[in-house]
A and B are shown apart, each in its own frame.
Chain A
Amino acid sequence: MKKQWKLFYKSPYGKIGFYILLAFIIITLISPLIIIDHNPVTYFAPPEDVYTVDHQLTANVSFTPTSTAMSTVSSTSGASLIYNTGKSTTGAYLVYGTSIINGSSYKLFNIPSKPLGMDVFTAGSYSTFLRSGESIPGYHTYVMVYTAHHLYILYIHFKGPTYGTGSIYVTSQSLHISSNVDTVFSSALPYHNTPVGIPEFNSTSIYPVFIYTITSNASKYNITAYYLADIYKPIKSVQLSHSTNPQMHSFFGTYYTDSTHQRVLIWQGDNLTIFTPTLNSNVTKPLRSYTKDISIPSDYQSQYNPSNLGVFMLSNSSVIVLNPVTTNIKYVYNGTKLNYIASTPGSSGFPAYVAVTSGYNIFFLSGYHSVHKTINATYYINGIEESGDTFLTYNSASGKVTYYQYITSSQPIGWALYMHKAISTPVFTLNPKTARISVAFNSLNSIVIYGINGKDLNPIPPTLHTLSGTSFPLGTTSTGQSAWALFIGSFPPDLEVGFVVGIIILIISVIAAMAIGYFSGLPSTLAETFTLAIYLIPGLPLLIVLAKILGPSLPNIILILSLVGWTFPAFTLIGIVRSVKSRTFIDSAKVSGVKTPQILRRHMLPNMAPLLIYLTAINIGGAVAAISTLEILGLAPVTIPTWGGMLSGFYGDFYALAIAPWWFIPPIIAITLFILAFIFIARGMDEVVNPRLGGRR
């Protein structure tokens, strides 16, 4: 044995093969330690690492957006524009709209002086809002832009049979206000200070549309209400009781049919003023702390006195909820350095989630003093948006956006993106092209639109630093599985299949070869014919059929490969058995009275042994090749990581081959090396079995 080993080791092939195999076995043994993730098949990379947008539009606009917020109003049937104020190359201020569909920009209106802010709202298709001469019902978008002393109301009307084909009509009204205009907002868009969202008027009910302005004049602050229908005639104008600059205002009860329940809330420092345009009284409510941010669950806008809840207010250290009608306050959450708040619709009772941010963290509250989940966004959050049950946090300076969905799941982060440059506040918008809610924001002078639902996932290149903190030394597959985990995880099953199949084949073929080769007569001939028949059945189709019948599982794969693979070695061994059988020492044993089983065991087997080792080496390599074939064809169990399985992704997606070399190169190398190792070992064995080969050079 020692001598044979020496002979084997002397052969360069045998040596190389041995070391490759040794490396494989060592990797297999230490694979649990280096695999990183212990279940490579069920493990998927956190989606934020591998998200692909479904619609990404980067529209270059010929205007530089000014610091004013971007507003968007879109419709499902008409053309959708994102409205913005900007500065043209000639230095003139203007309002422009950018098409979500094709990115083209439309100049809508010239503004004589620098716009301070804008607000956009859409009125329903009710004829009340039809302007004279308009006969085609449609969505009527109003863009309010204000400068220091002017309020401009632009009426944007799309006319056309299908979306995208309509012409854009712009009519404008302007109102001169002698005092400084601080804010203009409308009851149709009663969201917080940055008007966002898509108030879709699906019913034909009439909602009165009020327009409010907050003006200041020598530390005196006035709120004035107008009807949209008649903008030149203020309905009511009230001076606010505090002289602090209102940091925030909101409209509560947008969808109340009874306008007496509508409230306008204005925060001035620690004080809250509750104003109702149809009532004469103002309520002032002192608050204990400075309110930094508020959130009104959207469904509360249509419910009067919803479970005594109303406006969620966030201060530096606490979250309170206020019923604007009764002005009762309830404490929701106590924290430190709280920054922003957003809430899910919350049709009745406490909303599903109230999201509160603090620095890098976002807390999802599912009830009073109950933090459901804390997520680290990895960047300093300087804003939060919500749409339905989903949230969006961002850092506009560094261009980082994270989208959260399925808060209850283990992976609540839907996706994330890094623009690596400053962006405007992202807004939710409906992308008419995909009929999906999208996210839009400005980035330098382009508008970027992302769908919030990924179409599919792209493989990500090798990286050690991802958003979720996982490292992917070999990148990921298109399904987000770590290529490294799959690759390392494939070592034990592949080696197991190889060795088990190799040994089963060895046992079957030795028994068959002995039965066929040693004995003669009809049974032996029949067995040989049967073996030949199996041998002659085309291997791959047989494999496929068997795999399909037996179903994909590791034992079945081993069974199938063994059933198909034993005939070739059996035929090789039959020759050996027959040649050994004709050797004199077999006769000698017979003459000595040795019984047949003893002859087979003591004489036949040892003389077959070198070839057996040789054949086993080839079989093991062959089994790995065969299981890889099955895996590539998708016939092997998907619950087991294998090298072939890693490659099966390319069967239907050759493009992935081009873009993700980190994904397919390691398994290809592994399969090749593994088979090569056994071919080399077989070559080395060959020199042990036929020592003359070595001498011949």
Chain B
Amino acid sequence: MIETVENKSNIENEMLNVKNFYVNFETYDGIVHALDDINFTLKNNEVLGILGESGSGKTTLATAIMGLLPENAGVKGSITLNGKTYLRENDFNSGKKLNRKQLKILDQNLRNIRWKDISIVFQGAMNSFNPVYTIGKQIREVYKLHTDLSDNEIEEKLLKTIRYAGLNKMVINAHPHELSGGMKQRAVIAMALALDPEIVIADEPTTGLDVITQAEIINQLKALKKQGKIKSMIIISHDIGVISQLADHIMVLYAGKIMEYGTSRDIYLNSQNPYTVELLKSYPSIKNAKKHVEGIPGTLPDPINIPEGCIFYERCIYHDAICKQKEPDITYINNEHYSRCYFASKLTEKERVNTDIDGEPIIGTEKKVETKDLVTYFDLKKSMAGSLFSNKERVVRAVDDINIEINRGEILGIVGESGSGKTTLARTIIGLIKPTAGEIIYNFENTNININKIKQRSKEYSVFRKNTQMIFQDPYDALNPKMTVYDIVAEPIIAHRSTNNPGEMLNMVKSTLKEVNLTPPENYLERFPHELSGGERQRVATARALVLNSELIVADEPTSMLDVSLRAGFMNLIKNLRNKNNLSILYISHDIASVYYLSDKIFVMYLGVGVEYGDSKDIVNNPLHPYTKALIKAVPSPTPDWNPGNIDIIGEIGNSINVPKGCRFYDRCIYKQGKCKNEKPPVQKTGTHWYLCHFTQDELDNIKQYMK
């Protein structure tokens, strides 16, 4: 179909052509249809973004292009590079085995293509460096394997590549553990660029990185593209924000099928597919302010038994009778934009943009929890090896002098990069870690509970435990895989002996499951976590936190492992629960957009100290601390026009062991002055909004002016 619209010039210009491409995997349970009728052309100097949730087949496509599919994969269709078809039907086992000669030829073909013509940055590749070799040695190996260059030439090329990737040449002799995540990712990119490939495939290049590092990596990729170092690129991500900044064309994958294809602008501003529309609507953005986001209900269809009709039918809000009966064909909106939907070009502007703003919640004045100069250090000397090999006191200042308070019915969001101590703070407040100094005072059931002054067996302790609950980051790990949903949710009831009546317990569990939208609850009671989707798991974890009607919930990055479509639904759930039950919630995330969407107040942390605190609107729209400014600037926005420019921050977050003497942010601050180095900054306060800096906003502006 796609050939009909391709004109001749396009063909000459095309770099990679994937035609009628199918991939399925034979497993014990049946045949998994991973990719279904994929057609696309990557032109010279084009960046193609592949957008999709987990399970949509993005990575399978990338590995298929590299010819790295596992043995149990069956392939139909062909992939052509520069007019040369190197992967075609029957190349992989589609019924019959290849003989040795055929295998050899295929292997030869692929070996010539891999890395020289197409290179790939795998997802999480930064963590797959061999820890015992230096970065330089590992990149050199690429040259040694694929080229006949002399050692000197290799050294020259290596230096060049390292510089391209934005790395210092010191990195060459560093071992992987000496580098930060961002530097490692740059090293991976350097490795991918080593042989000047025609195409670079970047599979989730920023996943697992902090928002600032992510922005920098994206900038680096953009710069490399501009310099022509990267010729053509396929960027794969579930993050709408990341794709939007890099891609010229975007392909939206859903359950192995292309749902929509078009230019970046077409997709973001003029999407003609309900899935894309819904996906974009699910994505909270700081630009959208507190406009209501709507998730996509339901989950991906079973890849083994793909249902009749439109694959998105079950979850689509526009679905009609015809969608159920027959799979929609591709509809072209224009030459470069097509959508797999019966209603393409019928979607209106209104449907595409969120307009609702949720009502303001009522926030009580009663403090539920308050920390006073809370300090949590981890003593490195405590371990045996630590005490043997370290002669000076070494502590990790994970939480250093934190004062926060959460009122009844309030959501306090804590943001900061990884390593800033957010999670330690949460765990200290919930009582999983003993604070080193300072006080945490809870107010539950009209009694003040000072966690430092109560004993483990006291009544107060049990009240504290009963009223504080936590929702963890990883829904796959937070539920005991050996327990049923009923057992998981009922466990706090049993632990606190809230009731001994099995009937009552069942009712409590059922009503809580209903509360978290797991309906009907009877369907879930006897299921095990592995039978649930990620969103459902996180709901079960939430139900467990809610079952005792606790007053304080600590949510530690509860959405970071969820797909975009589920994320919004979960955030709305939290919001609704807060409104309904007047819960106090401590919400931790590095995703500023989602924190902004949910919280009433935001607390910004950097290396164990709070640097800024205020109303969420104030923090996002009017950041005062240099760190917050950078953080907010780095948050990607899902529009093709977004360009953060310079993020105004130096390097990456350090460790909490050797913290700067004065301002914690000193090393990374672009505004830093002499006194910042040794003097602790004071709190600058306007109303409830405060930040930790030596300078007022005017002074900061002046410094910036001066720098220019």
Contacts and interface: CB of A to CB of B under 8 A. Distances in A.
Nearest to B468: A591
Given A593-B462, A598-B495, A607-B482, A588 B470 contact: yes
Interface stretch (B124-132, B196-204, B290-298, B472-480): B472-480
Contact of A602 (B27, B465, B483, B544): B483
A343 to B, nearest CB: 83
Contacts of A594: 491-492, 495
A593 B456 CA distance: 11
B453 interface: no
Interface in A506-536: 525
Nearest to B29: A695
A585 B477 contact: yes
A353 to B, nearest CB: 77
A588 B466 CA distance: 13
A593 B71 contact: no
B431 interface: yes
Q: How many of chain A's residues touch chain B, expressed as a range?
A: 20 to 34
B608 to A, nearest CB: 21
A525 B468 contact: no
B469 A585 contact: no
Given A588-B470, A697-B72, A595 B495 contact: yes
Of listed B479, B480, B495, residue having the most chain A CB within 10 A: B480
A593 B496 contact: yes
A615 B166 CA distance: 51
Contact of B472 (A525, A587, A593, A602): A587
B483 A606 contact: yes
Nearest to A608: B482
B145 interface: no
Of listed B71, B384, B479, B495, residue having the most chain A CB within 10 A: B495
A592 interface: yes
A695 B479 CA distance: 25
Given A584-B472, A584-B473, A695-B28, A592 B478 contact: no
B541 A588 contact: yes
Interface residues of B, number: 31
Interface in B390-433: 427, 430-432
Contacts of A602: 480, 483, 491
A584 B478 contact: yes
B481 interface: yes
Contacts of A609: 482
Nearest to B472: A584
Contacts of B462: 593
Contacts of A587: 427, 432, 470, 472
B480 A697 contact: no
Contacts of B27: 695
Nearest to B465: A593
Contacts of B541: 588
Contact of A592 (B28, B482, B492): B492
B491 A589 contact: yes
Contacts of B469: 591-592
Nearest to A691: B28
A66 to B, nearest CB: 85
A697 B71 contact: yes
A598 B495 CA distance: 9
A694 interface: yes
A603 interface: yes
A591 B554 CA distance: 10
B537 to A, nearest CB: 11
Interface string A683-697: 000000000001101
Contacts of B72: 697
B544 A592 contact: yes
Nearest to B529: A585
A607 B481 contact: yes
A58 B480 CA distance: 82
A593 B496 CA distance: 7
Interface string B430-455: 11100000000000000000000000
Nearest to A587: B432
B432 A590 contact: yes
Contacts of A592: 465, 469, 491-492, 495-496, 544
Contact of A583 (B28, B430, B470, B477): B477
Contacts of A606: 480, 482-483
A590 B433 CA distance: 11
B304 to A, nearest CB: 14
A525 B382 CA distance: 13
A35 to B, nearest CB: 43
Contacts of B479: 585, 588
B188 to A, nearest CB: 26
Nearest to B481: A607
Nearest to B384: A525
Interface string A601-615: 011001101000000
Of listed A588, A603, A695, residue having the most chain B CB within 10 A: A588
A595 B492 CA distance: 10
A588 B478 contact: yes
Contacts of B481: 607
A591 B430 contact: yes
Contacts of A585: 477-480
Interface string A446-459: 00000000000000
A361 B283 CA distance: 106
A602 B430 CA distance: 22
A593 B492 contact: yes
A356 to B, nearest CB: 80
Contacts of A525: 384
B329 to A, nearest CB: 35
Of listed A525, A590, A598, residue having the most chain B CB within 10 A: A590
Contacts of A603: 480, 483
Of listed A584, A587, A589, residue having the most chain B CB within 10 A: A584
A389 B479 CA distance: 85
Contacts of A584: 472-474, 477-478
Nearest to A582: B477
A291 to B, nearest CB: 92
Contacts of B28: 694-695
A579 to B, nearest CB: 11
Interface of B: 27-28, 71-72, 384, 427, 430-432, 462, 465-466, 468-470, 472-474, 477-483, 491-492, 495-496, 541, 544
20 contacts: A525-B384, A584-B472, A585-B478, A587-B470, A587-B472, A588-B472, A588-B479, A591-B430, A591-B431, A591-B470, A592-B469, A592-B491, A592-B544, A598-B495, A602-B483, A603-B483, A606-B482, A606-B483, A607-B480, A695-B28
The 10 closest A-B pairs by CB, nearest first: A606-B482, A593-B465, A592-B492, A584-B478, A584-B477, A594-B495, A593-B495, A585-B480, A584-B472, A591-B470
Given A525-B384, A585-B480, A588-B479, 15 more contacts: A588-B478, A589-B480, A589-B495, A591-B431, A592-B495, A593-B462, A593-B496, A594-B491, A598-B495, A603-B483, A606-B483, A607-B481, A607-B482, A694-B28, A695-B27
